[in-house]
Copies of this chain bind each other. A is one copy, B any other.
């Protein structure tokens, strides 16, 4: 037989905590090992009894759920933390991820979705409510509206500039592209002429559109 996924719940509101515990314990393959009303109580118990998955409310009395994760994650690196909350404000989401949460689910999700998410989380995924996922993906999106200035560069030149922008040296770029360092230098020289700059930092600034 396969062992159950052990779960802990941190949630201050009695009825919600109860129904979550019942949901988890009632399902096949899940075991609700502990529930806590406060972040402090969880901090006290969990480091010695690491569970597979923690469902963490954010809006708790005293220490909030995000800070609780921040403290717990280093001490229970194998435990997966699922933020489980009402709100989906940008800042809260990103703070939670920075703190070490692996998943962010809105409480309005239907029960079967929650169980699915716990399983997915335990199997190495990072389940997110769809609006959350969209926020996260969108946070990477940069509108690098080609300021026509970069259009004068050849594809090769752009590739080299891109690597320079990552902090690579002439030699490193040469090795990455399997060409000689002198070739790279020549390309860079051409890039400088086209962009009217005289150093890497200036070129990279133009490339990344920061003025």
Contacts and interface: CB of A to CB of B under 8 A. Distances in A.
A134 B136 CA distance: 12
Interface string A8-25: 000000000000000000
Interface string A86-119: 0000000010011111110000000000000000
Contacts of A131: 124-125
Interface in A169-208: 169, 197, 199-202, 204-205, 208
B141 A205 contact: no
A133 B140 contact: no
Copies in the complex: 2
A144 interface: yes
Interface in A105-164: 120, 123-128, 130-131, 133-134, 136-138, 140-145, 164
A210 interface: yes
A140 B94 contact: yes
Contact of A137 (B130, B136, B145, B202): B136
A197 to B, nearest CB: 7
B130 A199 contact: no
Given A98-B141, A141-B98, A143-B74, A201 B164 contact: yes
A116 to B, nearest CB: 12
B137 A201 contact: no
Contacts of A70: 144
Contact of A167 (B126, B127, B145, B197): B197
Contacts of A127: 133
A165 interface: yes
Contact of A130 (B100, B126, B134, B167): B126
